[in-house]
Amino acid sequence: MARIILASSSPYRQQLLHKLGLDFQSCSPDIDETARPDESATDLVQRLAEQKARAVATLYPQGLIIGSDQVCVNQGQILGKPGTLERARAQLLDASGQRITFYTGLAVLDAASDRLHSMVEPFSVVFRNLSEAQIDRYLNKEPALDCAGAFKCEGLGISLFERMEGRDPNSLVGLPLIALVELLSQFEVEIP
C-alpha cells in the first residue's frame, strides 16, 4: 500500500484522521486559495482539495494523498476564519437564527498513477436565536478565531445550535470521515 499523506497542516484534520487508525504523514501544501470570480462554494472547495493533493504529490510521487478544503456559507456569502474577536462576533450575530452550510471538498490522489477521486460533502447547522450576551459569553470562553463560522462544534460551540443536518458531523471540523472511507476504498485501503 502506498504511504498515506494528508495534504494539510491543520491539527483538526490530523486529529480526525487519527480516528481511522491509519499510519500517515502530514505535509502543508503551498497553493493560492483565492476564489475565482463567480466560483461557487462547491466548485471552490473541490478545486482546492484537488490542488492541495496535487501540490503535495510532487513531494511524494508514490504517495496516496488526501486533500481537503472547507468553506462556510451564510445567506449566500462565503465566510472566512474571523481572525479577530470583532469579526467572530459579527459572524455569530449574522448566524443567529440562520442555517449555515459547510461544504468540504475531499480528494484522494494516487500520485504514482495520477488516479484521482474527489467529492464535496455538505453539512448544515441551524443556529438558535442568540442574544449578544450569549455570543459574548461564548467568545469569552472559546474564541474560535481560526475556525470559519467562529465556532468549534467539538467544544462549547455545540450549545449555539438548534440542530445539525448531514451525514457526518466530522465534516464541520474539516475532514468528512465517512466520505473519506468511501474514497479510500476505491484505492483498496480497507477500514477497519
Assign residue 163 a region: left if phi > 0, alpha if psi is -120 to 50, beta otherwise? beta
- Cα 92 to chain centroid, rounded: 18
Residue 168 is predicted with a pLDDT of 95
Domain ranges, ordered by start, for the chain:
4-185
148, 192 Cβ separation under 8 angstroms: no
Closest CA to 4 of 48, 67, 55, 52: 67
CA atoms within 13 A on the CB side of 111: 24
Active site residue 94: no
Predicted pLDDT of residue 106: 98
- pTM listed for this prediction: 0.91
Q: Residue 2 has what pLDDT?
A: 73
The whole-number pLDDT of residue 1 equals 62
- Residue numbers in the chain where pLDDT is lower than 50: none
The DSSP line for 5-17 is: EE----HHHHHHH
Give the pLDDT score at 80: 83
CA dist list (Å): 70 to 6, 27, 90: 15, 17, 20
Query: pLDDT of 146-167, one tens digit each?
Result: 888 999 888 899 999 999 999 9
How far, in Å, CA of 134 to CA of 128, rounded?
Answer: 11
pLDDT of residue 192: 86
pLDDT the model gives residue 148: 85
Report the CATH fold assignment for 4-185.
Answer: Maf protein (3.90.950)
Pick the closest to residue 136 from 94, 90, 71 (CA basis): 90
Q: Catalytic residue among 30, 69, 110, 136, which?
A: 69
Cα separation, 41 vs 47, in Å, equals 10
Give the pLDDT of residue 82: 94
CA–CA separation, 172 and 168 (whole Å): 8
With 0-12 / 13-18 / 19 or more C-beta atoms within 10 angstroms meaning exposed / middle / buried, residue 120 is buried
C-alpha grid cell, residue 187: 484505492
**How buried is 94 (Cβ within 10 angstroms: 0-12 exposed, 13-18 middle, 19+ buried)?**
middle
